[in-house]
Amino acid sequence: MDTLRRPLIAGNWKMNLDHLQSIAFVQKLAWALKDANYQANEVEIGVFPPFTDLRSVQTLINADSLPFALGAQDLSMHDEGAHTGDISGAFLRALECEYVITGHSERRADHGETDEVVAAKTHAAIKHALVPIICVGESAEDLELHGASKVPCDQLRVVLASLAPTDTYVVAYEPIWAIGSGQAATSSQAQDVARALRDVIRELHGDSAADSTRILYGGSVKSGNIAGFMKKDDVDGALVGGASLSVDEFSAIARFPQHVTLDQEN
């Protein structure tokens, strides 16, 4: 974590919590963080509910001035028109979403999204004034064949080619083998790939983009391992799946600066 980059703790709820459950969850999360004296200027928190919850969560965030950024889990590469079931970035922006996830490995696997599709969606996000969180990551097989950095760096290159150096984006390194497995990467593995991804940004978009872009780690992040990741120079936050569905866990992750374990390696 570099002090120039404000850490981002993003909760990707995936296909969990309906709109009623989302309201109860966000209220409880806000209370838990307030009780724990969460400092919004130190750490940014983002919530990424399913599409059907976005309006409810947006209304709650606005009504109670909650310190949460809102994001969506996907968007269409198209602006509007005959694309049944798809959601335009323009609609997300109208709901005051700030972020949108692109290229999550579950969308690549479930919907056959190629690097080119991810690049088009990421371009659409920027066009609609959303900050894309570009997900990259290798499978267990890739790891064995090529090492950890090659596949994520290749994926990122394709997406960055569709963006301008001045565009604002976030990159999330999510090794597929670590997602939902309970077996997170070590903090050193995460740091090595985050550094390699930052080098790709530097090569394609220059020093200013490389120094200001936040790179997150995702894959079995919990309150017990977040401090180790955040100690690393090139890791600027986390994209959290399962643990983002627990108020206690997610609020503890977001309060990582207070963890007594900050000095421990994991």
* Separation CA 173–CA 133 (nearest Å): 10
Query: What angle is formed at CA 44 by the lines to CA 232 and CA 6, rounded to 5 degrees?
Result: 45
**Active-site residue set:** 104, 174
Tokens found for residue 249: 């866990």
189 scored as a contact of ligand 13P (CB under 6 A): no
Q: Which string of x and - marks every residue 231-260 that binds ligand 13P (by CB under 6 A)?
A: --------xxxxx-----------------
The residue among 241, 245, 247, 253 whose CA lies nearest residue 12 is 241
Site of tokens 């120039």: 4
* Separation CA 199–CA 204 (nearest Å): 9
Q: State which residue, 138 or 174, has the beta carbon closest to ligand 13P.
A: 174
Type and span of the H or E element at 17? none
Q: In angstroms, give the least distance from the CB of 176 to ligand 13P.
A: 9
Q: State which residue, 75 or 240, has the beta carbon closest to ligand 13P.
A: 240
Site of tokens 């401090």: 227
Q: State which residue, 170 or 221, has the beta carbon closest to ligand 13P.
A: 221
70 scored as a contact of ligand 13P (CB under 6 A): no
179 scored as a contact of ligand 13P (CB under 6 A): yes
Q: State which residue, 91 or 173, has the beta carbon closest to ligand 13P.
A: 173
Q: In angstroms, give the least distance from the CB of 112 to ligand 13P.
A: 18
Give the range of 140-148, 172-180, 194-202, 225-233 binding ligand 13P by CB under 6 A. 172-180
Task: Give the chain's length.
Answer: 266
Residue 110: burial class (beta carbons within 10 Å; 0-12, 13-18, 19+): exposed
**One of 44, 113, 138, 174 touching ligand 13P (CB under 6 A):** 174
* Separation CA 218–CA 58 (nearest Å): 24
Q: In angstroms, give the least distance from the CB of 131 to ligand 13P.
A: 16
Q: In angstroms, give the least distance from the CB of 259 to ligand 13P.
A: 18
The residue among 85, 24, 32, 86 whose CA lies nearest residue 53 is 24
Bridge partners of 102? 134
220 scored as a contact of ligand 13P (CB under 6 A): yes
Could you tell me which residues come within 8 angstroms of residue 40 by beta carbon, excluding any fewer than 6 positions away? 67
Q: State which residue, 173 or 205, has the beta carbon closest to ligand 13P.
A: 173
Residues that bind ligand 13P (CB under 6 A): 12, 104, 174, 179-180, 218-221, 239-243
